[in-house]
Amino acid sequence: MSVRVLLLILFSGIAFGCTSMTQKHFTEIEKSASKGNYQAGIKILEKNKKEYREKDQVVYQVELGMLYHLAGQFKKSNQQLQSAEKRMDDLYTKSISDEASSYFTNDYSLAYAGEDFERVMVNVFGAINYTFLNKWDDALVEARRVDHKLNVINSKYEDKNVYKEDAFARYLSGILFEAQGEKNDAFISYRKAYTSYGAYKKAYGTPVPKRLMADLLHAAKSLGLTEEYTSYRRQFGNIEELPVDVYRDKGELVFLSYNGLSPRKIEDPIFVNLAKPGAGFYRMKIVFPRFRKRSNSVGYAKVSLKSAKGKVISTRTFEAENIEAIAIKNLDDRIGRIRAKAIARASAKFLATAVAQQEASKRGGQIAGLLVGLVGNVAAAATETIDQRSWRLLPASIHMGRLLAPPGTYQVTIQYYNRNGQPMETRQMGVINIRPGQKTFLNNRYSL
């Protein structure tokens, strides 16, 4: 292999693989979102669409989909999320040629297909969008897609990864089935959610919600599943049960609180000195990705409903999904494979540079060899960077509050508390109507 060919390989990496999206505009989007000005965020993102290559379109679409979701434009949100999902599915099985090219550049040279949990979140937020659009059957379709997607993820890793299930997605599915009167499917989803939260407790520190236990008891009793009911009743101790006919005369508010900011991918480099053939050393840079936590000061929220007569009923939210912990753990599960690839890539660049330097020395002398070695080292270091792309507008965590109430019109108030139980902010969420036997969804974002 000639010097020209070897250096061409390295410099093609500089041309096509080393430059990451600057995304300077995204700081402004996050500032707008933290102030609740989601329309401004949408305009900024759309204005900077040209910054996103064809290989970055999944990132663009999920971010725009989230902004539309937060802005209450649920139909537009789903259009973006569904387009992103199609791209994700097409990219999930990467071509051999694309994967091979990344060994001479970096993973940023590949089209972004999303982290495993991000692929699931597309369907989760798609389902939530449909509930706000009162398209419950479509919401259930999104929930069922989660089941298929998790099976695909597990088959890819041969069941070695911790992120095997998504407890929040299962719990949400149970709520949706229950809303449609599909009691058997609701029980199955609640049961899967209960099992999944057991794994969540160990992996992410998210406990089994007490309300889920009550839901599971209620579903088992409603279906006449005596054996299952007795077993869960024994396991759950003093968990307060819901009356079997609770939804006959009451409706329910399902409140979703999106708290904090999802973690950011950052570069975690190491440097290794390798002896070059003949004499001297080559300083090899190897980089690995790492998720760094960002702001999330919310401990919980108190949801209050005030009736026209002044009566107030309230509940406290619970953590339903810790996206921050899932992201960090999911990456940790794959870090061994990522490191092996990074080391192989850096080693290939080192060997290419060493061979090119030797050949240049033979043809043009020692100085020519040193120059080729210097150029090769610079090119190799320039192309060695991580793929920093991620779904940045996801919250750090999702909290849920489920509040049963008699039919009527209510003023909704949300009081946020920090992790020490100190009040932070009170937000008036307007008026909602609670209807008997029906569920009403409400969401809010707190990312200060």
Domains and their CATH numbers in the chain:
3-208+262-295+323-395 (1.25.40.10)
How confident is the model at residue 78, as a pLDDT? 98
pLDDT of 342 over the 70 cut: no
CA neighbor of 70 nearest in space, from 256, 322, 268, 301: 256
How confident is the model at residue 19, as a pLDDT? 46
Region 49-58 average pLDDT: 93
Query: Minimum mean pLDDT among 56-65, 319-328, 341-350, 430-439: which range?
Result: 341-350
How confident is the model at residue 96, as a pLDDT? 43
Task: Band the pLDDT of 287: cuts 50, 70, 90.
Answer: confident
Region 36-49 average pLDDT: 96
Task: Band the pLDDT of 147: cuts 50, 70, 90.
Answer: confident
Backbone phi and psi for residue 58, each to the nearest 5 degrees, phi listed first: -60, -45
How confident is the model at residue 409, as a pLDDT? 97
pLDDT of 21 over the 70 cut: no
Q: Which residues contact 360 (CB under 8 A, 6 or more apart)?
A: 3, 368, 369, 371, 372, 373
Q: What is the mean pLDDT of the chain?
A: 85
Q: Output DSSP code: residue 260.
A: S
What's the one-letter identity of residue 29? Answer: I
More confident residue, 344 or 214: 214
Quote the distance between the C-alpha of residue 328 and its chain's center: 10
What percent of the chain stands above pLDDT 70? 78
CB 112 within 8 A of CB 387: yes
pLDDT tens digits for range 101-121: 555 556 677 889 998 899 999
More confident residue, 443 or 247: 443
Query: Residues 305, 308, 310, CA angle at the centre, nearest 5°?
Result: 70
Could you tell me the pTM of the whole model?
0.86
Query: Checking DSSP bridges between strand 439-446 and strand 251-259, what pairing results, if any?
Result: parallel
Q: What is the largest CA-CA distance in the chain?
A: 93
Distance CA 81, CA 73 (A): 12
How confident is the model at residue 11, as a pLDDT? 46
CA neighbor of 292 nearest in space, from 322, 319, 260, 267: 267
Task: Band the pLDDT of 220: cuts 50, 70, 90.
Answer: very high
How confident is the model at residue 16, as a pLDDT? 44
More confident residue, 385 or 166: 166
